[in-house]
Each structure stands twice: as structure tokens, then as C-alpha cells.
Amino acid sequence: MNRNQRIINFLATLAIIVILAVWLSHGAEIFTKTKILVDNTTELDKLLGVKNEIWVDKFILGLDYSVAAISFIIIITIAINYLLKTKRKEL
Amino acid sequence: MRKLILSFFVLVFSFSLFAQGFNVSSSGEKTFNFTDQGKRNQASFYSTTPLEDITGLTNDINGKVSLKVNDIKSLNGEISVSTASIKTGIDLRDEHLRDENWLDASKYPNIKFTIKEVTEVIQLADNRLQIKFSGDFTLKGITKKISGDATLTYLVESEQTKQRAPGDLLGVQAKFKVKLSDFGVKNKVVGQKVAEEVEVSVNMVGSSAS
């Protein structure tokens, strides 16, 4: 493995770790979400015995997109590693 | 003395049988409109499977309910929600929910519930009742009898209630279960991501003024 390959592998590993960290911090959901439910219950709602939730736009990274992104990074890394392979001098 | 005690219990029992309504300053028959321009009323379904928990929610609720304030067994009316307005938090899944294998929103634009009967009443407070109800639930054009539990809260018009709507307010929190296959919903199309039986919750406030 040459220096360039080591750099590429390091960056790929870093990117995968970042994706997994974001996925875990978003609650380790299986499917990626674009909206979340937020409690919007008022004091009057409580008096009336009802609760109120609303959809709020928020991106939650799921395992589906994480696996897709990680697979893409691995494929690209393998391809770059192949291209950066040091060619042996012919005897 | 024994007759006196017996009479007391008969009296208490009689009250428990007949005093099944709200004990508030309003009286007579009231009709509550649950069409809220502010879209704060909501109906949701909750599905749990080993793969994922899903909540679908809509704020597009319409309908009217009538009752005699002091007799909750007189409760009747119809509530409907717009099928296409149900959101689950994933846009692509919402599209699947609307297609013909699922709820077929273009052919069946509304999901309806018609209240037919109140079977049990528990008085939680003067203005709050817990009931068991049954009625006709219509989904994808198929109507079946469904039973559920609800808590009803009555607030007589005040400065505070006017913040929400004019007139007396009726808060309804109801829950019942729906078996999807009973209504022709093919939930196995997407690999059993959705449970066969989903729990439906309704949180809505109706006004007697409109």
C-alpha cells in the first residue's frame, strides 16, 4: 500500500465513522425520515383532555441511507485504491 | 335500619344508572362541530412491528356530534378524515399509503366513523366522562362495526375557551383498533413493515357555536 492509498483509506474510514456517528445521534432509526412529530399541547388542550402533535420538517438519517452511503464509499475507495496501485517495473 | 341502608344503596345504584351525563351549567341537546379551521384536531394511527414503529397523523378532520348534555348515551354523529392528508414522516411512504394497494385515496377520499352506541359510562369528574362506544367504521369503502374507549371533557364557554372557539367545547380523546385485512388493505405488499392491527387515536375539540 502506497502513501496515496493510505490517505484515501484513512479518509474513507473517517467518512464511514462520521456517517455511523450521525446515524447513532439521530436515534439509530431504520428508515430515513423527513419529518418528526413534536408535542404542541397547550394548557387549554390539557383542560380539554386532548393532546396535540404537529409534523415539523427535520431530516433524520436512517440505516437505509447510511448503508447506501457507506457502500458507495467502499466501492469508490476500492476503485481509487486500484487506480493508485504502484505498478511493478517490468524486468 | 336495614331498610334504610338498603334504600340508600338502591338510591346510589339508581343514580349510577341514570346520572350518566355531564354535570355542568349547560343543558339540553348540543351539536358540536369538529371542523377546526386552525387544523388542531387530529387523528392518528400507530403501528408497531419488529422492524419499525410507524405513526400516521392527519389534521384534516370534519364532522358533527350531537348529545344531550345530561345523557351521554344520546351521543350520535359522524366524523371523517381526509385519506390523502395522512402523513407518516416519510414522503415516499405517504405516497405508498395513498396508492391503491393501501388506502386508495383517489377512489376513497374519506375514512369515516359513525357513532352508534355508548355502552359503558364512568364519571371521572363533573365535566369528564370515560365511555366505551361502538359504531360503523368505513375504510376503503368497507364498513364494519368497531368498539373503542373515549374520554369526553365538557367546558362551558368562558374567556379561556374563546381562545380556541366560541361556544361550549367538547374535548374527545378516543382509541380503537383496526384490523387492516378486514378492510382490504394489503399490508404485506411492503414486507410486513406495518402491523396487521393498528391502533387509531383521535384527539379533537368540537365547538357548539358553529
pLDDT averaged per 10 residues in sequence order, chain A, 91 residues:
91 97 94 91 94 92 96 96 77 54
Q: Which residues contact B40 (CB under 8 A, 6 or more apart)?
A: A45, A52, B59, B164, B205
B166 touches chain A (CB under 8 A): no
Four-way CATH pick for B2-207: 3.40.1400.10, 2.40.128.110, 3.40.50.720, 3.30.750.200: 2.40.128.110
Residue type present at position B53: D
Residue B52 — pLDDT band, cuts 50, 70, 90? confident
Interchain pair A44, B160: CB under 8 A: yes
B87 touches chain A (CB under 8 A): yes
Return the pLDDT at B193: 66
Which residues of chain B lie closer than 8 angstroms to A34, CB-CB?
A: 89-91
Interchain pair A53, B169: CB under 8 A: no
Return the pLDDT at A1: 81
ipTM over 0.95: no
Q: Please report which helix (H) or strand (E) contains residue B12, including its range.
A: helix B2-18
> Contact, B116 vs B138, CB < 8 A?
no
Which residues of chain B lie closer than 8 angstroms to A32, CB-CB?
A: 90
User: Which residue has 339508581 as its cell numbers?
Assistant: B14
Query: What is the 3-state secondary structure of A12-78?
Result: HHHHHHHHHHHHHHCCCECCCEEEEEEECCCHHHHHCCCCCEEEEEEEECEHHHHHHHHHHHHHHHH
CA distance B85 to B41: 13
Residue B210 — pLDDT band, cuts 50, 70, 90? low
Interchain pair B42, A31: CB under 8 A: no
pLDDT per position as a tens digit, B101-130: 889 999 999 999 999 999 999 999 999 999
How close is the nearest chain A Cα to the Cα of B40, in Å? 7
Which residues of chain A lie closer than 8 angstroms to B161, CB-CB?
A: 44
Q: Domain residue spans in chain B?
A: 2-207
Which residues of chain B lie closer than 8 angstroms to A48, CB-CB?
A: 153, 155, 164, 169, 171, 205
